């Protein structure tokens, strides 16, 4: 688990910086949500969905005995999805605070 957490932190730092800069890790979701007129959670769902799709295809391939070359290893997809889940949790917390500014989140 330690190596997974280390990889998640690395991904969050590197990819987050590429997509969102250094200040707001949700900036990419905000920007694209605003551009498309949709909530940031929908943007998140689309981005995270591609990783779910890759994992699902991996499982189907495994069950059918099919092997295929993949651009990214399945463990990398899992790590990406874990980071996306943490970002989704940040969105949930942000909405909770916006709904009740006095609410303390842990």
Range of the domain at 69: 2-99
Q: Give Cα separations from 15 to 62, 79, 96 (angstroms).
A: 29, 12, 26
Please tell me which of 25-29, 50-54, 95-99 the model is most confident about, judged by mean pLDDT. 50-54
In a domain, residue 106? The reply is: no
pLDDT tens per residue across span 31-82? 999 999 999 999 999 999 999 999 999 999 999 999 999 988 999 999 999 9
Residue 105 domain-assigned? no
Average pLDDT value for residue range 83-105:
87
Cβ pair 103, 96 in contact under 8 A: yes
19 within some domain? yes
- The answer to whether 46 and 53 have CB atoms below 8 angstroms apart is no
What percent of the chain clears pLDDT 90, i.e. is strictly above it? 63
pLDDT for 89 equals 94
Look at the chain and report how many structural domains it folds into: 1
| 52 occurs within a structural domain | yes
Residue 42: inside a domain, yes or no?
yes
Residue 104 domain-assigned?
no
With respect to residue 94, please indicate whether it lies within any of the assigned structural domains: yes
């Amino acid at each position: 688990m330690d190596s997974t957490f280390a990889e998640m932190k690395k991904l969050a730092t590197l990819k987050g910086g590429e997509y969102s800069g250094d200040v707001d890790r949700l900036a990419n979701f905000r920007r694209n949500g605003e551009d498309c007129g949709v909530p940031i959670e929908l943007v998140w769902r689309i981005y995270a969905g591609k990783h779910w799709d890759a994992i699902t295809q991996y499982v189907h391939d495994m069950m059918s005995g099919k092997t295929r070359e993949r651009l990214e290893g399945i463990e990398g997809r899992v790590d990406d999805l874990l980071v996306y889940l943490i970002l989704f949790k940040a969105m949930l917390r942000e909405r909770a605070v916006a709904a009740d500014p006095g609410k303390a989140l842990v």
